Amino acid sequence: MGDLVRVLWWLATLALVGIFGYAVWALPSQVPMHVDLAGNVTEWGDKTGLLAGLATGVGSSVLVGWLARGIGRSMSLDFVNVPSKDRWLPDHEAELRERVSTDLYAVGAITSAMIGALTLGMVAIAHGAPTMPSWATIAGIGCVAVLLIQVVVMITVRYRSPG
């Protein structure tokens, strides 16, 4: 499962980098910055602001991947907070590292997919769509739902005492 999630993270991150490059090239100077629940633009702004936010998303995705790789290998587990950590270490350290790494990759991939979908929706509006396209809204809401499920599973199931 860890390899699949890592590949998904790579795909989502590379897609986000591609969306950033496309946005740099294709966006007009005025872009939508905020939409309401109906998908109507409530605030317009400068292209630079949208690109700065998107660059932050790209940087965050790369950082999460770096942390996931480090935790999965040899990075200190001192700052990893899981229930019953004393029962995981040292006997089940490899399994703990694999779970934390997989979960970080999953959260990073889901978040990158959400940012990418919503950014493409904003690009569509900037190019003349009257509201946020339904596919972007559905993708964004879907990613939030999957992310919530991921977090609930992490909290309630993934880090129970090993055994």
Stretch (H or E) spanning 36: none
Q: For the chain, what is the mean pLDDT?
A: 95
- In degrees, to the nearest 5, what angle opens at C-alpha 157 toward C-alphas 156 and 159? 95
Q: How far is CA 141 from CA 15, 136, 145, 148, 161, in A?
A: 19, 9, 6, 11, 32
Q: How far apart are CA 34 and CA 149, in angstroms?
A: 26
pLDDT digits (tens, 9 = 90+) for 10-59: 999 999 999 999 999 999 999 999 999 899 999 999 999 999 999 999 99
Domain annotation covers residue 32 = no
How many independent structural domains does the chain possess? 1
The pTM of this model reads: 0.92
- Dump pLDDT digits (tens) for 83-104: 888 899 999 999 999 999 999 9
Residue 109 domain-assigned (yes or no)? yes
What is the extent of the structural domain holding 136?
A: 2-20+47-158
Q: CB of 1 within 8 A of CB of 102?
A: yes
**For residue 75, is it within any domain?**
yes
- Domain presence at residue 60: yes
Strand partners, 120: none
Instruction: Supply the pLDDT for residue 163.
Output: 65
**SS3 at position 82:** coil
Question: Does the pLDDT at position 60 exceed 90?
Answer: yes
42 in any annotated domain? no
CB 47 within 8 A of CB 32: no
pLDDT of residue 134: 96
